[in-house]
Structures are given as structure tokens and as C-alpha cells.
Structure 1
């Protein structure tokens, strides 16, 4: 196929580009691509598979990773998870692992993400720039059998998470992961003004189960999970969901540049 004819093959509406697709680099194409990715009526992820655990958090350690005005809630817990995304509308399939702290911002309950890793650069760029998730690249293994999942997360030669889960009974409800309000920080040290934003996604559950989980947590200077998580899981679940964008992020406050400087090793190293 010549370069001229290749440019006519575009990303499909389902979000998977043919191997011979090439962008036109026009304003209209860019606008259409953004509209397709952020369409609130269309699924952004299909059949996303989560293995998650509710874990106790060291409140003193958490205070050091939270922006001013955001505090741990009375539960002193967080959701730790690893997820397999087999389909997205932005032409990537990848894995992700994260820690979402259960917090309060004034009278409002929310989640805050101080740590998250992915094994795909497109997901890293989009998550950091649009939703304030401080994503970094890691090696993530996801091995699923009929009765359970085994996951391993490594970064810079350090094993940070090893979590295996055996599927239990189906359940009616599970603790929220993305389908809840967030308080994340967008902005970098420099001309950009760091700000606190809120948003949420819309999840459509396909399967929800309890899980019997074995969890080992490690840590390093740039990924100190072992100082934040203070004990074994309180409960665990496996779920499959379809996910939509929901509301786009809205600013709800400013963040001091000293927060980003203090958090630089964890967010940007």
C-alpha cells in the first residue's frame, strides 16, 4: 500500500485501528478522535477484569502523600488492585495496578490516587494529562484460570505486588474502584498551575465475586507501597465491568507547588 492510499484507512469506531491505518493529522480528524475517545455514551473499556483488595493504611504515612485539604477518612483504608484491560477505544490493551486511598475533602467522600503503574505508554499519557493519575511504567503479569487470578507487579527490578485470588461466590455489591468521585492532582512543576480535580466514571458490572486473596507488598524509594499499606487485606473481590468516561474533570481547588516537589520521587521517578 502506498503512503497516499494508506492515509485513507482510519481508526474504526470500535477503537481498534487496522494495521495499515495512518493519520491525516488534520484538525477535523484530531477533533473526531478526541470525540470518539471521550464519548460519554460509548464504552471506553470493555470486559475490564479487576482483582482488588481493601487494605489498611498507615495514616501518618498517608498524610505525607495527600494534598492540603484532603485527609484520610475514618476507615483508614484503601483499594489496591491489578486490572487487565483486553479492549479499549483508544487502540491499546494493557494492565494497570494502583492504590486508591479513601479520603475526605471537606464534607465530601472521595478517592485519591497517590500511586499507579501501567504497561502501556498511551494509557500513561492520557491518565496523567487528563485525570491526574500519576502513572508510571512497570512490568505487570496477569495470569487467569477458571478458578482464579495470579498477578505480579515489578518496577525497576523490585517486586511491588504479588497477589493471587481464588474466585468465591457471586455478590450483589462490591467496594467502588473507578465509579466514585476522585480528588486527584493535575499539573507539573513549572508554568502549569497544579490543581485539584474531581471526576468519576460509569461502570456497568458484568460479574462480581468475592475472592480469597494472598497478598505480598514490597517497596522502594520511588514506590513506597510497603510504608503506606499497614496490614493484610480486609476483604477482596474479582469483577468484570464495562466502563464509560462519565463526567470530565472539574477543578475544585489549587494545589501548592511544594506538594509536587515533595511528591516528585513518587509521582515522577
Structure 2
């Protein structure tokens, strides 16, 4: 096989997100002839982090690896799973923290797919563990992973579009794809950069879209109206799966196509 098709699924949000991911993923794999699946599990448990129980549930679906982000440290039960399950925490945090931020996974065809989970810095100071400079972190990491990878996919979990685009240009031609997550809103700017790197500012969210980025509408509206903070409540309606489907040349590691995916029941 000279090409590989990779589906990357946006942030799975709460129980509704886990359910629609489970329901729709097999059909999407068949429909789009997908060879490898990456999903962001950052918000899988109540919208904040992921528990070991919910990780087991998600990994029963045909997904190859889970990326995460700033909420990964919310549940202690997930930490031992970093050593035994295909779950990545952000690469650019203190190396003394448990887990690893990248891994090389072999597809069914033998393609070596390196997946990197990376966290942004801009507007992220109060969100989880402090992240180190993602530009410098990737420059250093590429020296290690480039010789052992056919394809390199970076899930960049970041708030600022400017930071995402700047890093994409910085890495153009050195990684196969730089794909944004975190904002839960799928953007319409997917493209292949001049040197072959696939890019989108944000893949979007897998979960309840009749919401305020996953949060129950009434809770979010009350906070904006009065400043009052109510208990965090995951919305339940308007379920959709957001993803991107990318095709790459295994020989060159460059992107051949990228397209948005939005699927509902």
C-alpha cells in the first residue's frame, strides 16, 4: 500500500460523546476506507478529563490511539494507563509527570504512524499543567521521531488560532499533519500547506452540539448574564461526531488530501 487514510476525531465530550463515537465510528471506517484512527479523549468523562473506566469503554471501539490535552490530569485513575494503553498526555509538559506525549504505532499495513499530543501556551496559563514552548519542543522531538516514522500526526490542543497557524507553518514539510483541537468548534480552513503538511485550526467536538461547546445552554447563559457559576452540566442534545479524514503518501510522508467530516445518527 502506497497510501494511508487516517481519521482523526475531535474532542469526545462526556457520555453523549462516548455514545455517538461508539455508534458511528465503525460505519465511518467502512464508508471512508479508514486505515488508522486517532481520537482526542480530553473531555470524555463529564467534559473534564478521562477516567480509566471511560478509557476502557472508548478503546473497545476500533480506535488506535487517544490524544488528550490540559484536562488529562483531572482523574488519577488514568495515570497508570499511560504505561499500558495507547493514551498520550501532552508532550510538552514536565518530563517528570507520568506518561508520554508521543508514540509510534504500526497500522495493519505496516505503516509507522507517529502520533504527537501537544499543548499550546497562548491563553492556556490557567488550564492544566504548564506547557513548555511547543515550537522548541517539536524541533527537539523531530530529531528523535523523524527517522523512525513514515507519517507524523500532531494533535495541537490549543486555544489561539494564531498559535496553531504559526506552528503549522513552522512545521510545514516536517510533519504530515498539524491538527488543532480544544475549542470544540470545527473550522472551515482545512488545507495542505506548500510543503505537504495537512492543517486545520480545529477538528471540532464529538458530543452534544445543541450546547455551548458541550456545556448545557442554561448553565452557560446564566454565567454570562449574571456571573453566577452553576454546577458543570454536560448537554445531551444535538449529537454529532466531528473529524477530519486525511490521506498521506507513505513514501514521502506528505498529505494528499484533507477533508472535514461531520456525522450524526
Task: Report the TM range for the smaller structure's normalisation.
Answer: under 0.3
Would you tell me which structure has more helix in proportion to its own residues? Answer: 2
TM value normalised by structure 2 = 0.25
Q: Which has the larger radius of gyration?
A: 1
Would you tell me which structure has more strand in proportion to its own residues? Answer: 1
